[in-house]
Structure formats: C-alpha cells, structure tokens
Structure 1
C-alpha cells in the first residue's frame, strides 16, 4: 500500500466519495462549465456532474486507462480520472500518461479529480503512487472507506488544494455539517492501532482467492472464448466475449429473468463501443457462490442465444 504524506489540514471528511464529488461539482462549476470524463466510467459519478449542469466531454479508455492524447486544451476544464484502477476496464495508468495529465492541468489552469476508490486491493506488482503526489496544487484526491470496510459506514475524504479550501468549507457547511462523530472516532482508533493495516492484508488475501476462483470458473465453463481486462487489482473483473452483444436490451432482459449482471455498455458515454463485455463483481461472494453463478450464467447465455 502506498503511503501518501499529507498535512492534516488538507484532509476533509465527507459522507463517502459521492458526497465529495457532489461538493467538487459545485466548487469547480462556472456557467457553461466543461469537464473531461473517462469513457467508460462510473455512470453514477458521471450523473453527479450532469446534474450540476456540466458539459461532458468523453475521453476514450484502453487497457491502460485514459488516453491522454485525446485531451484538447480547454482552459479551466477539470478532468475526472480513476488512475490507480480504472473503472470499469481495470487498467493502471502508466507514468507517461500521468505526466501528460499533470502537464494538461498546469497548462490549462485546471484541476484533476483523482477518484481512488479501491487501490488498496492490488494482488501482484508494486503499488502505484497517486497522481496527487505529483502535483498537490492541481490534483484533488478523493478516497472512501466503503470498499475497504463496508458501504454503510459512509465515510470518505478529499485532499483539497489550499487555494480551494475556503470555498470547500463554505459548501461543506451548507450541504451537510458533519458526519456522525461516533463512527469517525471508531474509525480513527481503528487506524491508529494499525488494525486497519492488518484488515487490509487479510482481505487482500481473501479477495485475491475469490478472484482466482472467478477466473478458473470462467475457464471451466466458457473455455477460451473470453478475455479478461485490467490489472490484478480491485473487486471486479471486466470480461470480453468476442462477437457477443450485451446492450441495454440485454440488461433489461436479465433483470426480468432475475439475473443481476451489468453490461459494460451501461457505463459507457458513447454506447456500443464495449458492448461485448460484462462486469463481474466478486467481493461479496463466497467461492462456491462464484462457481455456481458462473455455471448458471453460462447456461443462461447459451439458452438465450447470447453466445
């Protein structure tokens, strides 16, 4: 796990990452404000900025993350990215693209919104330093404890550049004065006693084993007809089935048939660019449930003619 040295006065507690992004959407907004967004992306996070009136400009993503060569100069236009583990394709942004993002932000007087939602769970290779470490004046770092502890905790945080902190404080006060103090105190003790570090180590092992069960089950029931995207990190896998079409009609049909699986196309701004991919979340499932679910899914897809 990467250690990020931060002054305590630069850290602001929120009711989760979505709350932090909602405040940032207000903080950075001007009339006819543009924003660059990864495509595909977390569609719920995108909606936060759409609801505030932003004009969305999508940047394509490949297996390594956002393709920075598609960024055109737009003064004051922020960029939303998930560089440590891109959602949903799973890539980890390489050094040259990280440097390109920082150059863009400095040249255009823009801010980079770095959503680091699950970088704690990396199963091989070295951990990657956050973009924030490259330029604390141009990067707003957003984190959450929902993935590493439990979603109902509703505690997230943002590391905010000094220039924005006064305005942030005003908006924070008038949207939600503070998180419940009891949960914060309990979490602080959990962190202080290093129990959090031990918890992450334990859960990384458990989730790594579940990831392997998912991969082996896909091999068992689908043979070699699929491809996995992304690095060995996080709590989900993106699986490509060449020639298949998993669109909104597929999503609605599976819901009607009481099968809960998300096509990657659901998280695309430009539809049908990744229509042959499905998202598989595995963090909440036991190994036996994963294998059983993949077996049932293979039978369903075959019977319905999707494969």
Structure 2
C-alpha cells in the first residue's frame, strides 16, 4: 500500500522507515491534504507488521503535523503542507523507491534474470572430477589447437545425445563446437554475409541475437510474435537474400511455441527462396508439461541451421555451444572458423564429452525439470494471488522464465528498469522490442526463476507487489 517498502534487514527500525516514506509522499503532494489514510489494522496486515507499529507511525506523524485524527472518522493528511518542488527530470516519488536502499545496505537483491540456470545445483564435484581427468590426460597429449570443428569425441557424443533427446539425425561431421551460442551466431553471420544481407527476426526477441546481426550489417526485418510464434502468415514469401532467425520451441520472451502449420509454411518458403533458417534452441530440454517439442531441424535438415548450448542445461561459465550445419554449408562455415582462428578449449571439450557419455547431462536435466516446474508453479500461484485479474501469464510451461502481461495500463508505465532500490530486478518486455511501436505483448515484464529458490521467489514477488501497489490501489 502507498508504495511503502520495508527492508527487514535494514539497521533502521520499521517505524523509522515507514515514517520517512510517508513524510516524502505527503511532502511531494502524492498524498494530498485531506486524504484519508487506511485503518491501522488494514495497513498492518498489508505490510506484515504489528498494528502497534502502524499506530506509532500515525502518532509520530500527527505530532509532527503531517497527519490529523478526526474522532469517529479516521486519520487524514493535514492541510497547509506545501508540496516540495522537484528538479526537472527528477522522477516523482511513485516513479522511484521512497526509501532508497543502496546495494551495500541491502543484503540480497533478488534478480528475476531470465536464462540463468540454478548455479548451486550444478554438479560441480562430478564436473571437477572429469575436468581433472581431462587436464591430466592432456599432459601427454599433442598440445595443438585441435580440430577446427571441435573435439571429435564431443561431437560424436552430442550427435548421439540430440538423437536420443530431440530426434535429430545428423553426422558428427555436421557438428561445429563453438564457445557459446553467441559465438555460433556471430560465426554464421560472418560466414553467410556473401550470400545474405537481411534477416527476418522475431519481434520481440533477445537483444543479443538482434545486436549480433545488426553489428554485422544485416538489415533486420522484424516480424511480430503472437501466441503461436512468429507470424509467418504475415509474409507472402521470403525475399531473396534474406535469412530467418527463429526460437520455435520456446520463443523468447513470449514463451510461445511455433505452430506446426507455421513450421511447414517456413520450410516451404525457405525452399522457394533457396534460403536458410537459424533455429536457436536455447532451452527446449526444460519443457515442464508434456513431451519436448521436436526441433524445426527435424522437418528440413537441409534448410535449418540448428544452434544449441550448454549454458542453460548446465552453466553459462562453460562457454560451450554447438551448431548442426546442413551439409551444403559445412565447408563455408568451417573455413570461416579456421580463418578467424576460433577454437574452444580442448580440456573443457574433453571433460564435457565424458560427462555426456557417462549419462550425467541427461540425469541433471531430468532433476532440474522437476525443480523448475515447482518454482514456476510457486511463481504463477503467487502472482495470481497478488494481482488477480490485473495480469495474465502467457507462454508455454517450459524453460526458466515466464512473461506477465498487465491489464491496467498504469502497471506498464511503472519504471520497471529501476527497481533495485525495492530489492528486486526485472526486465520489462519492451526492452526486447525492435519496432518503435510496441505490440501488446510488450506491455509486461519477464520473470526468470531458474536461479532463484522458492523462498527468494516469494520474497521477490512481495517486493514487486510493494513497488506496484499504488497502481493496484488506484485500479
């Protein structure tokens, strides 16, 4: 209520924190003279504090002249307080936290970052064993850069893994190891630049992929996303010299799945234009309801360049990804990788190959699916409890993030990029839009839950609700 945030671990008392924030609300004019404050019992329940504390706050501010009690009526903001002028460009009290808490004062900022897996549950002891074995084996090995496509054992292990888990049939010669999916996309942009100058890209989409192709001088052609993925039906055909970039199994940030009708339409249009689609399959392993969605690659191996990563299934710090390249493009991409002298550390590749071959990757994925499913359920239930009909949660039950779309426009206008002083951080959906006019799907926020415990999720949503509560009160 009133946008009051209580830092439970601050050295300042709760009474001091609430008094200070209410003073600023009154001094700024956001609580105008004559405004009737809510009863102490209601605020105590809303803020999760003792009623005596709220009574003490009211008495303190009454003594200071900010409030006045009216017998039988309640407590009101006193008259005669001239609102303090704000310097130009300084946000109003509702646009910034009332009682700002610096990062040094706040013991724990809860970051709803999307795409970050649980770092605490990474099997570090098992990984350390394989890493040690690979390092020791390398002592007597030939210390060259290794094959430009990557370690042959790892490529073979990935080949078997993607067949078991995704139904992808390919040879190890089609697999190219890269230092993360970002490097893979950069390599593709460079390798294909002689044939292609533009790219159809989802709008909204992750800023990394957008920026990579833009920096490589590709013209971006944004295509709106709806509940069935990229709106392929809005295009009559693919123009010559255009690539396509899709996240068909779990679009980011909307969470939508590209429908089978649109998948077939993409393949048909690619064949007509003699073009290729880059399939960014960043987290399809974590489908939390039903069975995994088959990759687009399985429909047309000759037209789809598949990009996978271990940053989501294991940890971003590995910096290992891979591409499954159509045979017609393998030589061009391999030669460009060799020309740029791009290699992935051999020891890490060898450790990862044994990790996969001994079954640890799939065991870890199976375990984490249950963990993420529980966290998603906690997140969705708590969101509905706090915001009710004011929000809708969109996207497939998959991955490590969800998107919240707001009903009342007032929520979307809040400064979601500046919430750290409330003890949490989120990304507004509009951050991922390409077109100047944001589609309806951009009037919300993206909440990642991969690296947060259920306790952190609940506390983070409490802080989020406190930040947004002025809109809730006025809706």
TM-score (norm 2): 0.62
Count of residues in correspondence between the two structures:
307
1:81 touches 1:112 (CA, 8 Å); kept in 2? Answer: yes
CA–CA separation in structure 2 for the residues paired with 1:265 and 1:127: 28
Alpha-carbon contact 1:32-1:53 (below 8 Å) kept: no
Q: Deviations over 1:270-303 (max 9, x none)?
A: 2422342100000000000001100110111124
CA distance in 2, matches of 1:11, 1:248: 45
- Residues 39 and 60 of structure 1 are in contact (CA less than 8 Å); yes or no, is this contact kept in structure 2? yes
Counterpart of 2:466 (choices 283, 296, 299) is 299
Structure 1 unaligned runs (5+)? none
Secondary structure, counterpart of 2:225 in structure 1: strand
CA contact (8 A) 1:248 1:266 kept: no
Q: Distance in 2 between matches of 1:23 and 1:246?
A: 40
Q: Does 1:36 align with 2:200?
A: yes
1:119 Cα deviation from its structure 2 partner: 0.1
Greater CA drift, 197-206 or 175-184: 175-184
CA-CA distance at 1:170 after TM superposition:
1.8
Match of 2:221 in 1: 57
**1:146–1:176 CA distance, 2 compared to 1 (3 A):** farther
User: What SS does structure 1 have at the residue aligned with 2:245?
Assistant: strand
State how far apart, in whole Å, the 1-side matches of 2:285 and 2:252 are: 14
Match of residue 284 from structure 1 = 451
Structure 1 residue 107 corresponds to structure 2 residue 272: yes
Tell me the residue number matched to 2:391: 226
Task: Give the aligned partner of residue 18 of structure 1.
Answer: 182
Pick one of 202, 206, 212 that aligns with 2:377.
Answer: 212
Alignment of 1:46 with 2:228, yes or no, is no
Deviation at 1:172, TM superposition (A): 1.1
| Secondary structure, aligned partner of 1:74 | coil
Is 1:123 paired with 2:288? Answer: yes
1:140 aligns with 2:305: yes
Q: How does the TM-score come out when normalised to structure 1? A: 0.94
Equivalents in 2 of 1:31, 1:99: separation in Å?
24
**CA offset digits 1:59-95 (Å, max 9, x no partner):** 1100110111122330231100000001110011111
Per-residue CA deviations over 1:152-180 (Å, capped at 9, x if unaligned) read: 00000001111111121122123343111
Superposition deviation, residue 51 in structure 1: 0.1
Q: Are the aligned partners of 1:59 and 1:66 in contact in 2 as well (CA < 8 Å)?
A: yes
User: What's the CA shift string for 1:230-253, capped at 9, x where partnerless?
Assistant: 111010000111123677982443
SS at match of 1:250: coil
- 2:333 is matched with 168
User: Aligned equivalents of 2:312 and 2:410: distance in 1?
Assistant: 30
Q: 2:204 touches 2:442 (CA, 8 Å); kept in 1?
A: no
Partners of 1:76 and 1:111 within 8 A in 2:
no
